[in-house]
Amino acid sequence: MSGVLRRSSTLLRTLQKQGPSFSNHQVSHSHHFPGSQAQSRPYFGKLPNFPRRIRECNDLTPTTAMFSSSSSAGAASSKVGLVGWYLGMVKSRPIITKSVTCALIYTAADLSSQTIARAQSDSYDLQRTLRMAGYGMVILGPSLHFWFNLVSQLFPKRDLISTLKKMVMGQAIYGPIMTVVFFCVNAHLQGENGAEIVARLKRDLVPTLISGVMYWPACDFITFKFIPVHLQPLMSNSFSYLWTIYLTYMASLEKVETSSC
């Protein structure tokens, strides 16, 4: 019993001796925790103000949101709808689509050519415009489709060498052939005979080919280098608008007088 009392008194004295250090240890910990809380307060203050943003989102009324979304969707669908419809027609019915496109461009080009060349008192020659539209619809449109497909099969790449080869083929083969066909068909529809057609070719063919060499290489380079095959006729027709203004002017010149034997 006395041994137990002695151990208890020894333990009490030991605790009394370590009491100040133990209390200081607690104080140091008590000073540490408030400091941590003070350091954490700025972090929580930097969090986004979610209630304010929720209120700002709620300020958008359903009518405003529906109007903005419907207007943007309508504008996008109108643009994509027309272009998408045309691209779909080019893929589903390529020949007829390219032929109609060519006829429309030749019609616009011939009317522009007549506007430039005619006097104010003269009226438009609608038969001439109809001839140009028929040539684009029946002859040039289908020929462009098959020509560009053939060239793309012979030279499928779009590198510089392949592009130059396509350009040379166009200037040496397709361009001269179609120019001769154009003059012959147009002259025949105007009632000229064989001798008059040959005389017209002798007079107008070489100057027209020289002008074509000056105009078409840059157009062909852009077409063959950067445009997909199924859209190359459309690009060529777009370039041919200015060319057709000149071409229809040459075709409308007076026929060459020939002496009958």
174/75 same-domain check: no
Tell me how far apart the alpha carbons of residues 125 and 208 are, in angstroms, rounded to a whole number. 22
149/53 same-domain check: no
Residue 42 lies in a domain: no
The parts of the chain modelled with pLDDT lower than 50 are: 22-23, 25-47, 50, 54, 60, 65-67, 261
88/179 same-domain check: no
Using CA of residue 116, residue 183, residue 101, residue 87, what is the dihedral sign?
A: negative
pLDDT at 22: 47
Residue 68 lies in a domain: yes
What is the C-alpha radius of gyration for the chain, rounded to an integer number of angstroms?
Answer: 43
Q: Is 73 helix (H, G, I), strand (E, B) or coil?
A: helix
86/101 same-domain check: no
| Beta carbons within 8 Å of 233's beta carbon, 6+ residues apart | 98, 101, 102, 141, 144, 145, 148
Residue 193 lies in a domain: yes
69/151 same-domain check: no
Tell me how far apart the alpha carbons of residues 159 and 69 are, in angstroms, rounded to a whole number. 43
Residue 260 lies in a domain: no
188/243 same-domain check: yes
pTM: 0.66
* Dihedral (Cα; 133, 139, 144, 150), 10-degree rounding: 170
pLDDT at 255: 79
87/207 same-domain check: no
Of 257, 129, 128, give the one whose Cα is nearest residue 193.
257
**Per-residue pLDDT reduced to its tens digit, 206-233:** 999 999 999 999 999 999 999 998 889 8
79/192 same-domain check: no
175/235 same-domain check: yes
Residue 108 lies in a domain: yes
How many distinct structural domains can be found in the chain? 2
pLDDT at 146: 95
Residue 37 lies in a domain: no
Domain boundary pick from 74, 92, 110 = 92
88/161 same-domain check: no
pLDDT at 18: 53
| Beta carbons within 8 Å of 222's beta carbon, 6+ residues apart | 235
Tell me how far apart the alpha carbons of residues 99 and 237 are, in angstroms, rounded to a whole number. 10
69/119 same-domain check: no
pLDDT at 33: 46
Residue 7 lies in a domain: no
pLDDT at 261: 47
Q: Which range of residues forms the domain containing residue 175?
A: 94-251
pLDDT at 212: 93
81/178 same-domain check: no
Of 181, 179, 194, 183, give the one whose Cα is nearest residue 258.
194
**Per-residue pLDDT reduced to its tens digit, 87-123:** 899 899 999 999 999 999 999 999 999 998 887 778 8
Q: Is 133 helix (H, G, I), strand (E, B) or coil?
A: helix
Residue 219 lies in a domain: yes
